[in-house]
Amino acid sequence: MSASSSEPRVGVWLIGARGSVATTVVAGCAAVTAGLHPPTGMVTETPLFAGCGLPPLSSLVFGGHDTVDCPLPKRAEALASGGVLPSGLPAAVAAELEAADREIRPGGPVPGGTQDTADLVDGFTADLRDFLRRRELTRAVVVNVASTEPAPTGTALPPSSLYAAAALEAGCPYVNFTPSTGLHHPALASAARAGGVPYAGRDGKTGQTLLRSVLGPMFAQRALEVRAWSGTNLLGGGDGASLADPAAAAAKNAGKERVLADTLGTAPQGEVHIDDVPALGDWKTAWDHIAFDGFLGTRMILQTTWQGCDSALAAPLVLDLARLVSRAHEVGLSGPLDGLGFYFKDPLGEGPAALGEQYAALARFAIRLRTPRPERREPHPEHRAQPPGRRNPQPERRPSHAPREER
C-alpha cells in the first residue's frame, strides 16, 4: 500500500506471498483503503480498538517469500473468476498488487536445491533487512500464511521454522497463521526468548473451530453432556491439496480437537476428517455432528454446516494481526502475545479456549496497546542469542526498527 510521505510505514512480510490468502490480503487492504469496500470482518476497525494507535491500513507495505512465480495480479484475476474476489477488483487495485509483487523474493527450500539451513536463514534475513531499508519502514511483521506442512520428525528445521528464525534474526515480530511448526521448534526456543520481539500464533481460527469455540462452552455452561462430536471438512485449492497428506492433516486437526477438550473439560468420542475436493477451489464446507444427553438421559443431536470462502475469512484476520503485533512491538511488548488467542485454534500461552473469554482477553490487550511503556536501553546485539543457522555471527549496528527488551 502507498502512504503519505509523513506517515510511518509498516511492512507486512507474507510467507506464501502468492497464495490465495496473501493475494486476498493485499487486494483487500487496497480496496478498503480506497473506500471501495467496508472493512467487514476486521475486529481492529471496531470501537474496541479506537485510540490504540494501530498503524492505518494506508501505511502497510507488502512483500514476502514464495516458491511459486505466478504474479499477484494474475493470481487475483483467478480468484475473481472463482468468486473469491469481487469482479473488477483486480483491475481497480492493479497498482497495489504489482507493487507488492515486486517485493516478493524466492522462498525455499526447493526440490533439488543446494542451500543448507544456514544459507537459507541468512538469505531470508537479508531479504527482510533489505525490505526494511529500501522501503524506509519503521518495522516489518512476518506472517506465515503458507500451506500447512507436516510436523517435523527429526532435528532439522522445517521450512516454516527457517522463516521464523530469519524473522528473529532480522528483529521482526512474527505471526504463525498456520498449524506448521514455525517458532514452536525446540531449536528456536532460546532465540525466541532472547529475541525481544512479540510473536503470536498458531493456526488461524476461521470456520469450524471458531464455531466449536462457541458451542463447546454452551454445552458446558448448560450442564449438557456431550457424548460424541464428529466433523468433516471438504475443501479444495492449495490448502486442500496440502491437507491431503495425512501428516499435514494431523497437524491441522490437533487444534480442532484441543478446543473441544479445553472447553468441555473432556475429549468426546469422534474424529475430524478432511477431504480434498479440488472442484471446490477456495470454498470449504465443514459439517459437525454432536450427540449429547439432556435431562433424564434424553438423547439429542445438533448438526451444523459451515460454508465459507477460506481466503475471505482469513484475510481480515491477517490484517488485524499484522496491525496488532506491530503496535505491540511499538509499545515495547515482547514474547508470546497470549491476548491474541481470539484469533487462533492453538494459541500460545495458557489462555482460555472459549471464544467469549478470548474476546475479553483481547479487550484487555487493547488497553495495553493504549499505554506505551517507557524506553529502556538496548542490550548490545552480540549479547543476544542467535537463531540456529547463523554461522559466525558478527556484531552489527542495531537499526532503528530493532525490538525493545522485554519489560
Q: What is the full per-residue pLDDT of the chain (407 aa) written as tens digits? A: 544 456 789 999 999 999 999 999 999 999 999 999 999 999 999 999 999 999 999 999 999 999 999 999 999 999 999 999 999 999 999 999 999 999 999 999 988 878 899 999 999 999 999 999 999 999 999 999 999 998 898 889 999 999 999 999 999 999 999 999 999 999 999 999 999 999 999 999 999 999 999 999 999 999 999 999 999 999 887 776 776 677 766 766 676 788 899 999 999 999 988 899 998 888 999 999 999 999 999 999 999 999 999 999 999 999 999 999 999 999 999 999 999 999 999 998 788 999 999 999 999 999 999 976 544 444 444 444 455 655 544 434 333 333 333 33
**pLDDT given for residue 43 in this prediction:** 98
Question: Which string of DSSP letters, residue by residue, matches 351-404?
Answer: ---SHHHHHHHHHHHHHHHTSPPPP-PPPPGGGSPPPTT--S----PPPTTPPP
Find cell 506442512 and name the residue.
149
The letter for the amino acid at 355 is L
Where does 181-245 have alpha helices with state H? 189-194, 208-221, 237-243
Q: What angle do CA 229, 233, 236 make, to 5 degrees?
A: 175
DSSP 3-state of 306:
strand
Torsion of CA 244, 248, 249, 252, to 10 degrees: -140
What distance in Å separates the CA atoms of residue 167 and residue 128, rounded to the nearest whole number?
A: 8
Torsion of CA 162, 165, 169, 175, to 10 degrees: 110
**pLDDT given for residue 380 in this prediction:** 40
Residues ≥6 apart with Cβ < 8 Å to 330 = 53, 138, 139, 372
**What's the alpha-carbon Rg for the chain, to the nearest Å?**
21
**pLDDT given for residue 154 in this prediction:** 84
* Angle between helices 159-169 and 117-134 in degrees, nearest 10: 50
3-state helix, strand, coil in the chain (%, to 5): 45, 20, 40
> Are the beta carbons of 22 and 64 closer than 8 angstroms?
yes
DSSP 3-state of 406:
coil
> Residue 105's beta-bridge partner residues?
65
Task: Identify the burial level of 351 via C-beta atoms within 10 angstroms of its C-beta, where 0-12 means exposed, 13-18 middle and 19 or more buried.
Answer: buried
* pTM to 2 decimal places: 0.88
Per-residue DSSP letter, 182? G
The letter for the amino acid at 135 is R
Count of C-beta atoms within a 10 Å radius of residue 224: 16
The letter for the amino acid at 101 is D
**pLDDT given for residue 252 in this prediction:** 63
CA 351, distance to chain mean position in Å, is: 18
Where does 34-154 have alpha helices with state H? 72-81, 89-92, 94-102, 117-134
> Residue 186's beta-bridge partner residues?
none
What distance in Å separates the CA atoms of residue 383 and residue 145, rounded to the nearest whole number?
A: 32
Ranges of beta strands (E only) in 165-262 are 174-176, 198-201, 225-235
Q: What angle do CA 215, 217, 219 make, to 5 degrees?
A: 70
What distance in Å separates the CA atoms of residue 271 and residue 234, rounded to the nearest whole number?
A: 14
**pLDDT given for residue 388 in this prediction:** 60
